Structure 1
Amino acid sequence: MASITYDKACCVYPGADKLAVDSLDLDIADGEFVVLVGPSGSGKSTALRMLAGLEEIDSGAITIGGSNMVGVAPKDRDIAMVFQNYALYPNKTVGENMGFALKMRGIGVEERKQKVAEAAKLLDLTDYLDRKPGKLSGGQRQRVAMGRAIVRDPQVFCMDEPLSNLDAKLRVQTRTQIAALQRRLGTTTVYVTHDQVEAMTMGDRVAVLRDGKLQQFSSPTELYDRPVNAFVAGFIGSPAMNLFTAPLTDDGVSIGGATVAVPRTALAEIGRLGLDSAIVGVRPEAFTLGDSGEGVPATVSLLEELGSETYVYATVDDPAVRTIDGGEVTLVSRTAVRGPAKIGEQIRLRQTEPTVHLFHPTTGERLGD
């Protein structure tokens, strides 16, 4: 096990006009589970491959356990990689796949068998050691790939979207197993995913990247409660945070003639900056269906019935309130009521929580405390 530090690490691909990873700074503690998340092309996989030695570090540095990895071959970094496509040998049994790396390092047969048996027990693969990968399910194959990494007893696990080939139910089950296993082993782990739900449920801390640049590196709850900019606010959360530009009033922001209250500290900063509008962020759970004419007027456009809760999508008819891209605003609210409204119905969305986020209309940076 070891700590990891990215110190202004950069990577640029030949012929590219911009950096794939741009001055990345991360301090990962010994034994920590850190998730790199972001949209396609954000640099998260490149950052992981730089750690593993599969991509060059063009400037800056990456250290593992205090040792600089610049110029160090992948085989000398004492890391184990788990890939998206499992990368198993189809002609070898589960046991042979798991023990192959040990065999290549000259580990004796008995010691190999012992390490493979221990890893198989951790992963519930003991009954499958004599099977070929073609006779296993997707989840079992992924556990074999995990076992191959575990038997090496590395100081760092690198996982590159290992669950993306699994179906939805199996993804939930396997991500729980991976997170629990990492906590039992205590091995420093860097995990890449494009799925923000995966990131929020698995990581001790989450690094959000965009266009090769780090946006925020915090605990999942901090990302959710205090996003540093509008991009993080819109990326973290399912359904996504309602984000729109709206004119300001003395008490908050005006939406369809109704006022949504915002923190006084944010209003004070807006006054200091001389702004007359801002990007407003409201989580779906901060809105509910109102009555007696209270709340933001809107028209229901979609209902998502999930059994335990319903998400109501409602369009706001206010030319002064637009999306960040200038389009019509559809607000999402969450309610525990089944069948709360009908498509096309006129409703009111009432603010139930004081947590409203404001962001600079030009830079997207968070306003207020």
Structure 2
Amino acid sequence: MASITYKNATCIYEGSDKLAVDNLNLDIKDGEFVVLVGPSGSGKSTALRMLAGLEDIDEGAIEIGGKDMTGVPSKDRDIAMVFQNYALYPNKTVAENMGFALKLRGVPADERRRKVEEAAKVLDLTEFLDRKPAKLSGGQRQRVAMGRAIVREPQVFCMDEPLSNLDAKLRVQTRTQIAALQRRLGTTTVYVTHDQVEAMTMGDRVAVLKGGKLQQFAAPNELYDRPANAFVAGFIGSPAMNLFTASVVDNGVRVGDSVFELERDQVSILSGTGLTEVTVGIRPEQLEVTESGGVEVVVDLVEDLGSEAFVYTHAGSGSSGVELVARCNPRTAPRLADTVRLRRHPEGAVHLFDPKSGERLN
């Protein structure tokens, strides 16, 4: 096990005029499970490949266990990769796949078998050791790929979207197994995904990237409760946070023909900035349907999920129109085309962002 440090790590692909990873700084603790998340092209996979030695570091450095990895080949970094496509040998059994790296190292057959059987027990693969990959389900193949990494007992696990090829139900099940397994092994893990739900449920800390730049690196609850900017606010959470830019008025902001009221301290912050417009963020569960007060909206869609419902609405029209999503009780949810009012829950948090830079104001 080892700590990992990215020090202004930068990568640019040949022929490109844009940095794939731009001055990335991360300090990952020994035994920590860190998730790199972001949209396509954000640089998350490149950052992982730089750690694994599969991409060159053009500027800066990456350290593993306090040792600079610049120029160190992948095979000498003591890292195990788990890929999206499993990369199993179809002509070898599960046991042979899991123990192949040890065989190449010259590990004796008895010791190989012992390590493979130990990993198989952890991963619930004991009964499949003599099967070929073609006889396994997608989730079982992914666990074999995990087992191949585990038997090596590396300093670091690098996982590049390992659950992308699984169906939704199996993905939930497998991500739970991976998170539990990592905590049991205590191996430092860097996990890449574009799925923010995976990131929030698996990571001790999450690094959000956009365009090669780090936006925020924090625990999942901090990302959710205090996003550093409007991008993180809109990316983290499902359904996404309501984000809209509105004109500042005396006691809040104008939404359609109504005023969305803000707390006194938030009004003071806006007065201090001198802004005439502000980007407001509020999560769906922090809005409630009401008969009076709040903002008048028209219902566009109701998603009934059984235990809860999400009401998609709009206020106003044209360029000044605002779309808002609120969570409510499915038994009392409004109907399509109803006109209702939405107000902030008494304990609901409102986030304010600069409309140009997107940086947090409160």
Class of the TM-score when normalised by the shorter of the 2 chains = over 0.9
Could you tell me how far 1:365 is from its partner in structure 2?
0.3
Query: Partners of 1:145 and 1:68 in 2: how far apart?
Result: 28
Q: Give SS of 1:248's match.
A: strand
Q: Deviations over 1:264-320 (max 9, x none)?
A: 4443332222101100001001111111x3221111111111000000000111567
- Alignment correspondent of 1:73: 73
| Residue type at the aligned position of 2:189 | T
Alignment of 1:304-323 (within 5 A): 304-317=303-316, 321=320
Which one of 340, 346, 349 corresponds to residue 339 of structure 2?
A: 346
Residues 209-228 of structure 1 aligned to structure 2 (within 5 Å): 209-228=209-228
Structure 2 unaligned segments of length 5 or more: list them: none
Q: Is 2:246–2:253's contact at 8 Å kept on the other side of the alignment?
A: yes
Instruction: State the match for 1:325 in structure 2.
Output: none
**Structure 1, gaps ≥5 residues long:** 322-327
Equivalent position of 1:136 in the other structure: 136
The alpha carbon displacement at 1:76 in A equals 0.1
> Structure 2 residue aligned with 1:365, among 324, 346, 359?
359
Post-superposition shift, 1:247? 1.2
- Shift of the 262–306 alpha-carbon distance from structure 1 to 2, 3 Å rule, reads same
What letter is aligned with 1:329? V
Corresponding residue SS for 2:249: coil
Q: 1:44 to 1:263 in 2, by over 3 A?
A: farther
Aligned to 1:223, what secondary structure does the other structure show?
helix
Partner Cα distance (1:265, 1:42) in 2: 35
Asked whether the equivalents of residues 207 and 215 of structure 2 are also in contact (C-alpha less than 8 Å), the reply is yes
Q: What amino acid is the match of 2:198?
A: E
Name the stretch that deviates more: 254-263 or 109-118.
Answer: 254-263
Moved more, 339-348 or 154-163: 339-348
Q: Structure 1 CA distance, aligned partners of 2:93 and 2:211?
A: 41
Q: How does 1:161-310 map to 2 (within 5 A)?
A: 161-291=161-291, 293-310=292-309
Task: Map 1:18-97 to 2 at 5 A.
Answer: 18-97=18-97
Question: Residue deviations 1:315-365, cap 9 Å, x none?
Answer: 1115674xxxxxx42210001233511111111112113410000011000
Taking the aligned partners of 1:92 and 1:199, their CA distance within structure 2 comes to 33
Q: TM-score normalised to the size of structure 2?
A: 0.97
Q: Following the alignment from structure 1 to structure 2, what is the Cα–Cα distance between the partners of residues 265 and 186? A: 44
Deviation for aligned residue 1:250? 2.6
Aligned AA for 1:159?
A: M
Amino acid in the other structure paired with 1:367: L
Aligned to 1:330: 323
Q: What is the rounded CA distance, in whole Å, between the counterparts of 2:351 and 2:8 in structure 1?
A: 30
Identity %: 69
Q: Partners in 1 of 2:165 and 2:357 — Cα distance?
A: 36
The answer to whether the 8 Å contact 2:306/2:330 transfers is: no
Query: C-alpha root-mean-square deviation of aligned residues, in Å?
Result: 1.2
The two structures have a TM-score, normalised by structure 1, of: 0.96
Residue 366 of structure 1: SS of its match in structure 2? coil
Q: Would you say the 8 A contact 1:282–1:357 is kept in 2?
A: yes
Between 1:347-356 and 1:10-19, the stretch displaced more is 347-356
Within 2, Cα distance between the matches of 1:32 and 1:17?
Answer: 34
C-alpha separation in 1, matches of 2:265 and 2:41: 35
1:99-138 paired onto structure 2 within 5 Å: 99-138=99-138
How many angstroms apart in 2 are the aligned matches of 1:261 and 1:33?
40
Inter-partner Cα distance in structure 2 for 1:88 and 1:319: 54
